[in-house]
Amino acid sequence: LERALKKIDVIRLLLGKQIQNLPVAHPVQAFAPANIALCKYWGKRERELNLPQTSSLSISLGEKGATTQLAVIEAEADVVFLNDVPVPANTEFYRRLVAFLDLFRNKYYFKVTISSNLPIAAGLATSASGFAAVVLALNKLFQWQVPKETLSIFARLGSGSAARSITTGFVEWQAGRLSDGFDSYAVALPLRWETLCVGLLIFNQAAKKIGSRDAMQQTVATSPFYAAWPALVASDLEQLKIAIMDKNLSKMGFIAESNALAMHATMQAARPAIIYSEPATISAMQQIWQMREAGINVFFTQDAGPNLKLLFEESALLDVLQFFSKLEIVRPFSS
Question: Which residue ranges make up the site for ligand DP6 (CB under 6 A)?
Answer: 37, 40-41, 50, 56, 127, 159-161, 212-213, 303-304
- 292: exposed, middle or buried (Cβ count in 10 Å: 0-12, 13-18, 19+): middle
Please state the separation of Cα 210 from the chain's center in Å: 17
Q: How many CA atoms lie within 13 A of 265 on its CB side?
A: 12
Question: In this complex, which beta carbon is closest to ligand DP6, that of residue 56 or of residue 150?
Answer: 56
Question: In this complex, which beta carbon is closest to ligand DP6, that of residue 23 or of residue 181?
Answer: 181
Least separation in angstroms between CB 127 and ligand DP6: 5
Question: In this complex, which beta carbon is closest to ligand DP6, that of residue 109 or of residue 182?
Answer: 182
- Closest residue to ligand DP6, Cβ-based? 160
| Planar angle of CA 279, 205, 325, nearest 5 degrees | 70
Give the span between the Cα atoms of 212 and 161, in whole angstroms: 10
* Contact criterion met (CB below 8 Å) for 166 and 173: no
Least separation in angstroms between CB 77 and ligand DP6: 24
**Within a 10 A sphere around the Cβ of 290, how many other Cβ atoms?**
11
Least separation in angstroms between CB 303 and ligand DP6: 4
Question: In this complex, which beta carbon is closest to ligand DP6, that of residue 125 or of residue 141?
Answer: 125
Least separation in angstroms between CB 213 and ligand DP6: 3
Least separation in angstroms between CB 245 and ligand DP6: 20
Question: In this complex, which beta carbon is closest to ligand DP6, that of residue 38 or of residue 316?
Answer: 38
Residues in contact with 225: Cβ distance below 8 Å, sequence separation at least 6, in sequence order: 265, 266, 269
